[in-house]
């Protein structure tokens, strides 16, 4: 086993880290308070190739591997998790599925603008009555000439307020309940309407909205994969997407550890640095250990995906452990800072708020445990064998 990053991966890591430290981290607190970051930031990310890190050069991307992309998400999320999730959804949940499941025409038409940042991607699966049970979605795509007319509502859509390309899931077969009647479509941003901007606990710099689709007309060229195979697209997308969210959790935890460590080395009580007290030393030791463990899980899952090997179980393990670790260790960072950790003078409280969502979206921790259990017990294989 080789644990070193390649020279190219280290270069990409340094690029993302330097940009995060210079352009994102100094502004993250203000963006949190303002509930948004300036849109020109996306242009800067695009200029550096960070909106298409793992997209082949022939489609306008940087042509790096999937692990490089995961490292970028870690570094961006270390600076501001809201920026990290914006890039994660754009890439993992929209660009990569089109690259994987699209026709040659769809890949040539939609992927280059996404990779270059000319359009930002939004992933529209969740509905008010279809969260973890995504197969129960109600948004309907009825026959309309040689295409479909789509009507429905979506909830908690990241990038939905400015997404230029929307990967949307709708039921094309009303007589088939559950996942088998669902199809995936590529819509333009002007085919959906924002009805509400969500007020959230954390990730305030990212946009999360409710959408309605009011009779959007789409042709056959907007159907992604095959009719009735939308759930296959969604599940494959989530398999890879949860690795990205695990990387986001990892970045948040790393940022919290950095702040706690630096504070412990400077803060003095009872005549010495608090880093000299065993109680603080043990907290920092646990934080460092759990962050390292999470990083190994996340990088392993990313490596498996880029090698084209099965990674459903490994991705679920990475997300489960990294997200719960981030929630625990951001809380410990606040504890190290004491009263200052509870104020907005330091970013620890923001890291704590940002970390919580990583246990919920792209599959809750409970769903991750279900995915892992079905894998280790062979239940998924048995279900597929039974049809």
Task: Please list the active-site residues.
Answer: 362
With CA atoms as reference, report the closest residue to 69 among 31, 15, 121: 15
364 phi/psi in degrees, rounded to 5: -65, 165
Residue 240 burial (C-beta neighbours within 10 Å; 0-12, 13-18, 19+): buried
Give the three-state DSSP class for 363: coil
Cα separation, 169 vs 184, in Å, equals 5
137 phi/psi in degrees, rounded to 5: -60, 150
Beta carbons of 376 and 313 less than 8 angstroms apart: yes
Query: E-strand spans in the chain?
Result: 121-124, 140-144, 147-158, 165-171, 182-188, 193-197, 208-218, 223-224, 268-269, 272-273
* Beta carbons within 8 Å of 294's beta carbon, 6+ residues apart: 246, 249, 250, 253, 318, 321, 322, 325, 326
Do strands 147-158 and 121-124 pair parallel, antiparallel, or not at all (unpaired)? unpaired
Count how many Cα atoms sit within 13 Å of the Cα of residue 162 in the half-sphere of its side chain. Answer: 16
Give the three-state DSSP class for 229: coil
Phi-psi category of residue 361: left, alpha or beta, with phi > 0 → left and psi -120 to 50 → alpha? beta
Cα separation, 231 vs 103, in Å, equals 18
The helix (H) or strand (E) run that includes residue 310 is none
């Amino acid at each position: 086993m080789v644990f070193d990053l390649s020279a190219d991966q280290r270069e990409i890591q340094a690029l993302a880290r330097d940009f995060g430290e210079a352009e994102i981290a100094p502004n993250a607190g203000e963006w949190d308070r303002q509930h948004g970051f300036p849109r020109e930031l996306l242009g800067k990310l695009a200029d550096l190739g960070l909106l298409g890190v793992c997209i082949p050069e022939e489609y306008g991307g940087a042509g790096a591997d999937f692990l490089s992309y995961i490292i970028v998400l870690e570094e961006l999320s270390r600076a501001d998790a809201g920026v990290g999730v914006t890039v994660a959804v754009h890439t993992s949940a929209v660009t990569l599925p089109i690259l994987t499941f699209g026709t040659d025409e769809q890949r040539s038409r939609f992927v280059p603008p996404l990779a270059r940042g000319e359009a930002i991607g939004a992933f529209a699966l969740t509905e008010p009555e279809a969260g973890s049970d995504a197969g129960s979605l109600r948004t309907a795509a009825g026959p309309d000439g040689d295409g479909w007319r789509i009507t429905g509502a979506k909830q908690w859509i990241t990038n939905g307020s400015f997404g230029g390309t929307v990967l949307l899931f709708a039921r094309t077969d009303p007589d088939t309940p559950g996942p088998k009647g669902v199809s995936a479509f590529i819509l333009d941003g002007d085919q959906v309407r924002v009805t509400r901007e969500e007020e959230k606990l954390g990730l305030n710099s990212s946009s999360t909205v409710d959408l309605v689709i009011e009779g959007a007309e789409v042709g056959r060229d907007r159907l992604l994969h095959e009719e009735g195979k939308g759930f296959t697209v969604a599940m494959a997308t989530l398999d890879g997407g949860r690795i990205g969210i695990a990387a986001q959790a990892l970045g948040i935890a790393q940022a919290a550890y950095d702040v706690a460590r630096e504070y412990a080395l400077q803060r003095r009580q009872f005549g010495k640095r608090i880093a000299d007290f065993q109680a603080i030393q043990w907290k920092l030791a646990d934080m460092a250990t759990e962050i390292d463990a999470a990083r190994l899980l996340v990088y392993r899952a990313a490596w498996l995906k880029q090698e084209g090997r099965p990674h459903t179980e490994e991705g679920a393990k990475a997300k489960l452990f990294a997200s719960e670790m981030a929630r625990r260790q951001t809380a410990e960072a606040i504890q190290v800072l004491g009263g200052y950790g509870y104020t907005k003078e330091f970013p620890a409280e923001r890291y704590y708020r940002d970390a919580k969502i990583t246990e919920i979206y792209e599959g809750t921790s409970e769903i991750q445990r279900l995915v892992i259990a079905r894998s280790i017990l062979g239940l998924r294989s048995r279900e597929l064998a039974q049809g």
